[in-house]
């Protein structure tokens, strides 16, 4: 019996590996469509709602049109703590320090860690909370409304909180009964929430297409933008047929926990109501996907992957921003745009000090120069002719994310590279980093990490290393006295 079970288990592992490989092999690069960069917005449910807020606030220069938030909460609500996330930010078991979160937002904007908050004043915010949602209760969404009042005019905010829905994305014709909180977390409440969100963010729209859609769904390669960090190897994009000849709007749609493609297939991508509005209103929809390696398949809104999760340098944040950059680059028609230059490959970081990092990449054929972006913002004042660049003026003990584009002789940029991350040394650093690979339990007993609420956190950086046990293995790099980051030497 034991041998039969082991044989069956090995067969199952092989089958799942083959499926995963097939999914990655079937994906294509995300095209540069020449979409309208001034017409970008985002919405999400639950963890996707929290991530939508993060993207809207941190990348306010990109998500100019605004955000739709379903069962989310204030920016940086968890403050890097799983206890805060599951307590005050979901059940509202204790009060959320909204004024403190507003202060943090202003401070980070002043330091350039996130975009200027002044951008938010021109955007719109749509908020939704169901009266039967006992997962993220309405008091949390009330606090989100209060938070946004510090940045977005009251006239640009709409809050719908009167429908008896459970913790779910709601539609007018698909899903479970309205008060249900269960997989796939899509409820039929006789209300078109996706349409309401899009119409509020973009104004009057054409009637939705209730018939066969004109456009195409494409599974694209997310590893062009991020590898690991709780993100799947592939995501999905819907491109209306009209966007082959028109510069279209862009809306990013973020699923909730236990709603990625591995969890519920294409239900969220195809049945939440967004596509039929996009089809008749020139809106490209990007559906980023987490992987099953992400905690509960959630987007990172409390720091399970990275201490900078809510900033522009957060790996998931930078990846989604890079997806938008790709779609809005080039010229209308989806051929890749005015420049045919490929995205630089082999982008990596090295030579970290407490205030600088060297970014290097492979040469691109036909490139006259290169541009380097940190957290989505260009950092080189003049053209970079070499295949490396030293970025200076960085904060100590901080993780950043960089991407690179090639530029042709006509000064037209090509496709954006995949993001590379790196962590600066601690103040007074400069010593050669030392790495330790061990179980999370062993790291805590050795004094390199601590554990709180069943999770393990690296000393100094406070990065979430995952569950505290003897099974999860992590490599920690020591970059200063009692300062450790997740990484390799």
Q: What are the tens digits of pLDDT across the range 98-119?
A: 999 999 999 999 999 999 999 9
Average pLDDT over residues 215-236: 94
C-alpha dihedral over 408, 410, 414, 419, to 10 degrees?
70
Residue 7 has pLDDT above 60, yes or no: no
Percent of the chain whose pLDDT exceeds 70: 90
| C-alpha count within 13 angstroms, C-beta hemisphere, residue 182 | 6
CA dihedral 133, 284, 259, 309 (to 10 degrees): -80
Task: List strand residue ranges (DSSP E) for 2-102, in order.
Answer: 40-45, 66-70
Q: Which two tokens stand for residue 462?
A: 């406070």
Of residues 477 and 332, more confidence is placed in: 477
Average pLDDT over residues 169-186: 97
Compute the distance between CA of residue 116 and CA of residue 113 in angstroms, rounded to an integer: 9
Least confident of 5-14, 156-165, 330-339: 5-14
pLDDT at position 186: 98
- Angle at which helix 138-148 crosses helix 98-111, to 10 degrees, equals 40
Closest by CA to 72, choosing from 170, 162, 175, 143, is 143
Enumerate residues 6+ apart whose C-beta is below 8 A from 367.
Answer: 341, 406, 407, 408, 414
Q: Report the run of H or E that residue 249 belongs to, with start and end.
A: strand 249-254
Average pLDDT of the residues in 185-202: 97
Q: What's the mean pLDDT when you consider all of the chain? A: 87
Q: Please choose, from the candidates 320, 215, 326, 219, the residue with its C-alpha nearest in 3D space to the C-alpha of residue 275.
A: 215
Residue 461 has a pLDDT of: 75
- pLDDT score at 312: 95
Q: Which CATH superfamily is domain 348-423 in?
A: Immunoglobulins (2.60.40.10)
Band the pLDDT of 251: cuts 50, 70, 90: very high
Please compute the mean of the pLDDT values over residues 158-168 and round it to a whole number. Answer: 97
Separation of alpha carbons 236 and 217, rounded Å: 7
pLDDT-based confidence at 428, cuts 50/70/90? low
Measured distance CA(317)–CA(311) in Å, rounded: 7
- The predicted structure's pLDDT at residue 457: 83
CA separation for the pair 68, 193 (Å, rounded): 10
Say if residue 15 is exposed, middle or buried (CB neighbours under 10 Å; 0-12, 13-18, 19+): exposed
Give the C-alpha separation, 254 to 36, whole Å. Answer: 20
pLDDT of residue 16: 34
In a 3-state reduction of DSSP, which class is residue 125? Answer: strand
Return the active site residues. 46, 133, 167
Q: What is the arithmetic mean of pLDDT over 6-13?
A: 34
* Residue 391 three-state SS: strand
Least confident of 58-62, 307-311, 426-430: 426-430
Task: Give pLDDT, residue 331.
Answer: 59
Q: How many CA atoms lie within 13 A of 202 on its CB side?
A: 25
Phi, psi of 186 (to 5 degrees): -130, 120
Would you say residue 90 has pLDDT above 90?
Answer: yes
- Which has more confidence, 399 or 29? 29
* Rounded average pLDDT over 170-194: 97
Q: What is the mean pLDDT of residues 48-64?
A: 97
Weakest mean pLDDT among 160-169, 173-182, 352-361, 431-440: 431-440
Percent of the chain as helix, strand, coil, to the nearest 5: 25, 25, 50
DSSP string of 334-362, one letter each residue: SS--S--PPPP---EEE---SS-EEEE--
Is the pLDDT assigned to residue 308 strictly greater than 70? yes
**Tokens (6 digits) for 318:** 């930078």
Q: What is the Cα–Cα distance from 355 to 367, expressed in whole angstroms?
A: 29
Q: Where in the chain is CATH 2.60.40.10? A: 348-423
Q: What is the pLDDT of residues 119-139, one digit of tens each?
A: 999 999 999 999 999 999 999
Helix, coil or strand: residue 476: strand
C-alpha triplet 345, 351, 354: angle, nearest 5°: 125
Q: What is the pLDDT of residue 375?
A: 65
Per-residue pLDDT at 58 exceeds 70 = yes
Tell me, what's the pLDDT at 5?
Answer: 33
pLDDT band at 342 (very low <50, low <70, confident <90, very high): confident
C-alpha to C-alpha distances, 97 to 59, 101, 271, 394, 470, nearest whole angstrom: 22, 6, 36, 29, 35
Percent of the chain with pLDDT over 90: 61
pLDDT value for 432 = 62
Taking residues 481-486, report their average pLDDT.
Answer: 80
What value, to the nearest 5°, has the Cα angle with vertex 346 and ends 340 and 349? 125
Answer whether 168's CB lies under 8 Å from 180's CB. yes
Please compute the mean of the pLDDT values over residues 52-58 and round it to a whole number. Answer: 98
């Amino acid at each position: 019996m034991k041998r039969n079970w082991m044989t069956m288990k090995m067969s199952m592992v092989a089958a799942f590996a083959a499926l995963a490989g097939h999914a990655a092999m079937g994906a294509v690069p995300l095209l540069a469509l020449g979409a309208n960069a001034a017409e970008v917005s985002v919405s999400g449910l639950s963890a996707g709602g929290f991530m939508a807020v993060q993207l809207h606030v941190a990348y306010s220069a990109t998500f100019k049109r605004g955000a739709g938030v379903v069962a989310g909460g204030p920016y940086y609500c968890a403050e890097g703590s799983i206890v805060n996330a599951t307590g005050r930010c979901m059940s509202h078991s204790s009060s959320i320090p909204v004024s403190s979160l507003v202060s943090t937002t202003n401070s980070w904007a002043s330091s350039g860690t996130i975009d200027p908050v002044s951008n938010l004043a021109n955007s719109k915010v749509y908020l939704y909370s169901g009266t039967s949602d006992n997962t993220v209760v309405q008091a949390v969404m009330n606090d989100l409304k209060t938070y946004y009042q510090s940045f977005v005019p009251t006239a640009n905010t709409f809050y719908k909180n009167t429908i008896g829905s459970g913790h779910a994305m709601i539609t007018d014709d698909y899903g479970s009964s309205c008060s249900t909180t269960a997989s796939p977390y899509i409820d039929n409440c006789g209300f078109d929430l996706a349409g309401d969100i899009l119409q509020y963010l973009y104004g009057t729209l054409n009637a939705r297409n209730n018939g066969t859609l004109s456009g195409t769904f494409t599974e694209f390669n997310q590893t062009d933008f991020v590898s690991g960090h709780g993100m799947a190897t592939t995501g999905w994009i819907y491109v209306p047929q009209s966007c082959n000849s028109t510069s279209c709007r862009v809306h990013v749609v973020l699923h909730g926990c236990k709603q990625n493609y591995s969890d519920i297939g294409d239900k969220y991508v195809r049945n939440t109501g967004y596509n039929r509005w996009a089809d008749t209103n020139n809106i490209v929809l990007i559906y980023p996907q987490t992987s099953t390696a992400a905690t509960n398949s959630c987007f990172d809104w409390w720091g399970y992957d990275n201490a900078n999760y809510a900033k522009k340098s957060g790996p998931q944040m930078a990846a989604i921003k890079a997806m938008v950059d790709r779609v809005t680059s080039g010229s209308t028609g989806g051929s890749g745009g005015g420049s045919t230059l490929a995205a630089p490959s082999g982008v990596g970081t090295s030579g970290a000090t407490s205030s600088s990092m060297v970014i290097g990449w492979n040469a691109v054929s036909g490139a006259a120069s290169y541009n380097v972006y940190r957290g989505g913002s260009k950092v080189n004042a003049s053209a970079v002719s070499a295949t490396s660049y030293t970025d200076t003026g960085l904060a100590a003990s901080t993780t950043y994310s960089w991407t690179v584009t090639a530029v042709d002789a006509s000064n037209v940029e090509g496709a954006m590279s995949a993001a590379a991350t790196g962590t600066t040394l601690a103040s007074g650093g400069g010593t050669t980093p030392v790495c330790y690979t061990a179980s999370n339990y062993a790291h805590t007993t050795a004094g390199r990490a601590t554990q709180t609420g069943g999770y393990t956190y690296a000393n100094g950086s406070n990065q979430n290393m995952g569950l505290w046990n003897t099974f999860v293995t992590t490599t920690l790099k020591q970059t200063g006295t009692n300062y450790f980051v997740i990484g390799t030497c």
